[in-house]
Structure 1
């Protein structure tokens, strides 16, 4: 088993006043040649957007973009004609494919919105752009990891054009759980949204990340109050 640890304080950081953002991997003005990606996981941004502010219309192509709000309400609009608001407990996916334009704004003027935005490199390029969002309320399992994303449109959660699986878990009790990789050529990136987790002798705290590969089973010891995102992605693509 191989691992790479990214402590929260080592992430790239920029504060633009309206946007306070941390980058696990190289993004925008943050560049670290040793932190370009973890397999097909290209971007993991931890954003806080001020009330009424946001990202104006801008383009994307050939990228799978996943947005997970942690608090507040984010309003999305795109060139496919979609307008929607996503909030804590939702997940949004956008396959940029052959090209789209979209904007993202904090729906509320009086409070911040906090979110994770994740980019995954696709296995297919120039696909027809697509958009989807769902509530996770029907998928949630108490003190267990539950799937929120996969490559299969008929599976639980949203889907993307990549052999990737994401799981979330909130733990109100101390628990030990084992994650089994779906594909032996994949790796797992563990991101601690809140709380404390021990993985393979690595003690992770809030906003720490750990990449793991060349193994099939990964044991996680989770403390009460932990919230964790697991991202299984191809290491070769």
Structure 2
């Protein structure tokens, strides 16, 4: 196999920002966390693994005009943007248009349980869809061992896919545009992707590729894939 151009972001080398309310693991440089080897990938500039304690809330200050994607891993989230409320659960992804300087309020609606979610940020200079048009649903259980296209719109500069796989199941991801980059984040389990071994919460960025081969190495292995500029 030809080795593709890429970079691995190991889970145990992520930045950690922790308070009594929330815990944040940063794949890329974010706010006070900086490492010269953790530069962002193209237009993708945030990949945060977030947890919030029961009945608590946290805030996100946007430093860029961007799309912010919220992907609950366990539980659900309540969010407030400019007075408008949004609620999402596992099996849903909410995309919000967030201008530079805007603040989002993000809270855990459960009294006793910690919620875990992924937040992904992609810079943009053009918003074409309203938030109400950017709530996306998916179901892993109905579509095992394959990648599900969760977000694929000509009005958005990225494509989001995900899947849950049994051990030794394989698939190939075909990029829509050879100019795009491929980024994946392992939610759970282990995968081999283009000859690289990745474990839970590892990330991988690839470029100059037209397709990406992946194989699950454990049962109930979950992968999140973002194709972006």
Q: TM-score higher than 0.5 here?
A: yes
Structure 2: gaps of 5 or more residues: none
Measured in 1, the distance between the counterparts of 2:54 and 2:101 equals 29
- Contact 2:23 2:51 (8 Å CA) reproduced: yes
Decide whether aligned partners of structure 1 residues 99 and 56 sit closer, same or farther in structure 2, where only a CA change above 3 A counts: closer
Correspondence for 1:74: 77
Q: Does residue 169 in structure 1 map to residue 159 in structure 2?
A: no
Measured in 1, the distance between the counterparts of 2:128 and 2:105 equals 19
Which residue among 85, 103, 113 is the counterpart of 1:111?
113
Return the offset for 1:38: 0.8
Decide whether aligned partners of structure 1 residues 23 and 64 sit closer, same or farther in structure 2, where only a CA change above 3 A counts: same
Alpha-carbon RMSD across the aligned residues, in angstroms, is: 2.2
SS at match of 1:26: coil
Correspondence for 1:185: 179
- Contact 1:97 1:129 (8 Å CA) reproduced: no
Correspondence for 2:199: 205
The two structures have a TM-score, normalised by structure 1, of: 0.86
Structure 1: gaps of 5 or more residues: 154-159
SS at match of 2:121: strand
Structure 1 segment 63-142 matched on structure 2, within 5 A: 63-79=66-82, 81-97=83-99, 100-122=102-124, 124-125=125-126, 127=127, 130-131=130-131, 132-137=134-139, 141-142=143-144
Structure 1 segment 33-44 matched on structure 2, within 5 A: 33-44=36-47
Return the offset for 1:78: 1.6
SS at match of 1:108: coil
- Contact 1:144 1:171 (8 Å CA) reproduced: yes
User: How many pairs does the alignment contain?
Assistant: 223
Return the offset for 1:174: 2.6
Decide whether aligned partners of structure 1 residues 226 and 82 sit closer, same or farther in structure 2, where only a CA change above 3 A counts: same
